[in-house]
Structure 1
């Protein structure tokens, strides 16, 4: 199954459809937040912390501590990261550029939203993202990864293997 996911051209086409769907979902979410002009993560963060108390808390205590001590004091940074992160993840997935990194960062955001007590489509996006992530390079085969990854590998190999130098004679 793993080899099929990582090497089959038909699967690469299906993964491209999944990748583009995920990208569209991310890009529309990010674009709406950027152009809407009123997105601020502060209310969401405070709401998540409020869900960490009571008889049946939706947010675990350790996550609420993170939100209170890190996210809320830096709410403007998190607002920026969510808006632009969603947009850039969407663009990367649609183009198939740095696909594995983009889907991994999308999954981190989805898990963050789930940890904060949001259900929505996050679980579905994580599940689809797992297939894209496990497929590796095959997920970006019909995208810019087809050109970018070999180019970067060739540049990296040249830096790792400098030409042999002859020792200087004394």
Structure 2
């Protein structure tokens, strides 16, 4: 019943818009500063690997192995992905464009930060993002998804040529 309300109700669409704007603003500002000021994730990544040792490790061994074997040697790529990922997730959520995709990738980044031993606002962001994901289309209805999703649906059903205008 609650899920149906989240997915179909106009009031829910309004509340989801507020949540979407809050989460999007958080991502956008974090990403903007990283893109504008430059961002190097290597210190964070090495710190996360260090948190995997000791009596009460904050980072699981399997995640530390991934970070040590994949992320640390490619810190430049991961720095780029984090900075631009945060910025684009924020834009997608604020504009309500490809909302569920933006929310999904934002949640994946939140989980990566949580796995790396950083709590901060990540758990709160995951919780709020769950509502956006469960609501699906209704979360972006008050936004560009009102136009983008029907266009994509027409394209995938073969009823529209990709060069056709959305307006025609």
What is the TM-score when the length of structure 1 is the normalising length?
Answer: 0.92
1:52-71 alignment runs, 5 A limit: 52-71=52-71
* Rounded Cα–Cα distance in structure 2 between residues aligned with 1:124 and 1:79: 23
In the alignment, structure 1 segments of 5+ residues that lack a partner are 161-170
* Rounded Cα–Cα distance in structure 2 between residues aligned with 1:76 and 1:44: 12
* Rounded Cα–Cα distance in structure 2 between residues aligned with 1:98 and 1:70: 29
Larger radius of gyration: 1
Q: Which residue of 2 aligns with 1:165?
A: none
Q: Which residue of 1 aligns with 2:150?
A: 150
Moved over 4 A (4+): none
Q: Which residue of 1 aligns with 2:92?
A: 92
Q: Which residue of 2 aligns with 1:11?
A: 12
* Rounded Cα–Cα distance in structure 1 between residues aligned with 2:136 and 2:88: 19
Task: Give how far 1:159 is off.
Answer: 6.4
1:21-170 alignment runs, 5 A limit: 21-37=22-38, 39-158=39-158
* Rounded Cα–Cα distance in structure 2 between residues aligned with 1:2 and 1:18: 16
RMSD: 1.1
SS in 1 for 2:97: coil
* Rounded Cα–Cα distance in structure 2 between residues aligned with 1:145 and 1:132: 13
Q: Which residue of 1 aligns with 2:163?
A: none
What is the TM-score when the length of structure 2 is the normalising length?
Answer: 0.93
* Rounded Cα–Cα distance in structure 1 between residues aligned with 2:155 and 2:78: 34
